[in-house]
Amino acid sequence: MTALETYRHLVRRYVTSTLILAAALTSLVITSLSVGTTHLGFKEIINYMLGLEVDTLHRGLIELRMVRTLAAALTGASLGVSGVLIQGVTRNPLAEPYILGISSTALSVVSLALIMNPSLINSRFEVVMISFLGAVLGFLLTLLLSRLGSSGFSLVLAGVAVTSISSGIAHLLLYLLQSILRIPYVYLLMGSTTSVLKSDIPILASVTLCGALVAVLMSKPLNAYVYGDEYSKQLGFNPRTTLLIATTATSLLTGSAVAVVGIVGFVGLAAPHIARYLVGSDHRFSSTASALLGANLVILSDIVVRAISSVSNLGELPLGVVTGIIGAPILAYLVLRRVRE
Amino acid sequence: MRLVVKGLRVEYDSKPVLKDAEFEVLSGELTFVIGPNGSGKTTLLKAISRLVRHSGGSIYIDGKDLKLYSYSELGRAFAYAGPEVFRAIPSTVMEFLLIGRYPHQSRMQYLESSKDVEVVEKVSHELNIRELLNRKLSELSSGELQRVLIARALVQEPAVLLLDEPAAFLDIRYKVEVLDIIKDLTKSRNLITLVANNDLHITTLYADKVLVLSDGRIVAVGGPETLTKELIEEVYKIKAEVIVNHNGRNFIIPIKHA
Ligand SMILES: Nc1ncnc2c1ncn2[C@@H]1O[C@H](COP(=O)(O)OP(=O)(O)OP(=O)(O)O)[C@@H](O)[C@H]1O
Ligand SMILES: [Mg+2]
């Protein structure tokens, strides 16, 4: 194959994959609006989307489900993008906001802030900012700890250590906070869209959009960065700037997702890997594909937990249960492959 | 074009590694940098391409100090191909080669121009790696990877090409083939090419100019005839012998440790 054919093939693969992922997202959104204790027909939902007349009771139901659905999509997109960014800047395909302790530290810092000042719970924007600082702290702790080793695994092991410690702390603090949280705290530890408010959506949406924009603008510097600092420098990018911008964006994306829906693990791992499988590793393509995949994955998980609760009396499971079932085998596969090498 | 290096000094943790390096090379010249392990060959190439900071001295291209170059101008002027590349994030040879075009693209340009892709095509043809374009970088043999690393530097279309041990892992056929290509390109594109190398035989065959480093100092610069038995014995601390004389060039082989 000539270079031109190879290049065309890359671009074509990206366009096709994006179209398919967008179509999948649309159908998942429609499904998500219809699934629940009261099942609504697709026709009714399409009528609603087209602005046609819909039963008022059902309209209210759709609007409630819309908030959940948007929250799930935005969380998924955020995590998908932050997964790509964090894997790029650590040059480590096992990296993930949850595995590296970023999410759990963000949550424990948020809980700590809520214990010190319970009235914060009414100001989601401030919670997002605190969560962002917590995310930065988590990443720094992991980096500091992994300095002791140098293999790709040492970063992951350090992350697992930080995750364990900070999840323990978050667990304890959230337990103490139960009375003001008004929701089961396992929803924050493992993610859930049940407590998302309509007013959270603009915050989540603006952070996701900014993060995705940064990822797209940083594509070329990241493409050079993954091969080593020497490549960044030669091609005109400062590797430290790349590292700083990408980790800030990751922390912001993860932080806002944690603040609004809690910790949804493994999406940041699964989405980039599937994205690279579909469109290759060029960040211009993989970051947007990973955003779409993340959105698909989390909406799917949200549909699954609601479907389970509508047919059983288990109540609603947290999202992390489903994303873990999808994502953990991917981690296991990657680890096995690494070990064999 | 003329590359002039004046009083170049590099220190790692205040330990001098390159001491007042001074030389000049012209475009169309293939220069081999030789010297024992740790003598500073890699450091010299990296200092010229501004990958390591120099603590003293200056580098000029046609009289213009490199300090005055912007990042992207530097990217169009110099390409360094070393032996190292991180390959943990899976990517293909094509994706790796495409990054070499970035210094030629504007900041806002999102996709490659057809010229960019043509350059990749031409270079991959020249280095005989066309059938590797879709392969994973992490799955190449060391020899294949080495050709891909050189190709990446060539895709950058630099004026100064710096190759660090470009033939270390190649078999004899590819060694000769790759060096033929490097020599041809140096002539046809009028490049300034510096090759760090440890193979005296190859150096004698291909060098227009040799630059001998010993313990961070340039101890000899000149045509291939500069490589005398005495110089090699002195620098490498060995006993050597001149074995043949082909086209007026001395082939020196080591006999035993001094
Ligand atoms: N990053 C670094 N930090 C500290 N010292 C370094 C660093 N890189 C190289 N050195 C030292 O600088 C000296 C020159 O190293 P350099 O890599 O330039 O040698 P070389 O001639 O390329 O050797 P080789 O033939 O083994 O590749 C060596 O003593 C080396 O230990
Ligand atoms: Mg070297």
Task: Establish whether residue B224 lines the binding site of ligand 1, counting it when its CB lies within 6 angstroms of any ligand atom.
Answer: no
What chain A holds in terms of domains, given with CATH numbers, is 3-340 (1.10.3470.10)
B241's enclosing H/E stretch is strand B238-246
Q: Where are the alpha helices (DSSP H) in A91-199?
A: 102-116, 124-146, 152-181, 186-190
Among protein residues, the one whose CA lies closest to atom 6 of ligand 1:
B12
**Residue A233, C-beta contacts closer than 8 angstroms, at least 6 positions apart:** A239, B50, B51
Q: Is B46 in the pocket of ligand 1 (CB under 6 A)?
A: no
CA of B37 to the centre of ligand 2 (A): 7
Confirm whether pTM is higher than 0.90: yes
* Closest residue on chain A to B121 (Cα): A3
Q: Is the CB of B37 under 6 A from ligand 1?
A: yes
Give which of A160, A17, A156 is closest to A93, Cα–Cα. Answer: A156
Q: Which ligand is nearest to the CA of B38?
A: 1
Q: Find all residues with CB under 8 Å of B68, minimum gap 6, and list them.
A: none
> Would you call B71 and A280 a contact, using CB atoms and an 8 Å cutoff?
no
pLDDT at A335: 83
* Ligand 1 atom 12 nearest Cα: B17
- B50–A233: do the CB atoms touch at under 8 Å? yes
CA distance B246 to chain A (A): 39
Mutation choice for A interface testing from B89, B106, B123 by most A CBs within 10 A: B89
Is there a contact between A91 and B72 if contact means CB atoms under 8 Å apart?
Answer: no
Pick from A154, A103, A139: nearest CA to A257:
A103
Per-residue pLDDT at A87:
95
- Kindly determine whether residue B133 and residue A228, on different chains, have CB atoms separated by under 8 Å: no
Q: Does A235 touch chain B (CB under 8 A)?
A: yes
CA dihedral A185→A186→A192→A198, nearest 10 degrees, is 0
Instruction: Tell whether ligand 1 has an atom less than 6 A from the beta carbon of residue B52.
Output: no
When pLDDT is cut at 50, 70 and 90, the band that residue B33 belongs to is very high
Residue A152 has pLDDT above 70, yes or no: no
All residues of chain B having their beta carbon less than 8 Å from the beta carbon of residue A283 are: none
**Beta-carbon contacts of residue B168 (< 8 Å; ≥ 6 apart):** B83, B146, B198
Average pLDDT over residues B220-248: 87
For range B193-215, the mean pLDDT: 94
pLDDT tens sequence across A22-60: 999 999 999 999 998 888 888 889 988 888 888 888 999
- B77-90 per-position pLDDT tens digit: 999 999 999 999 99
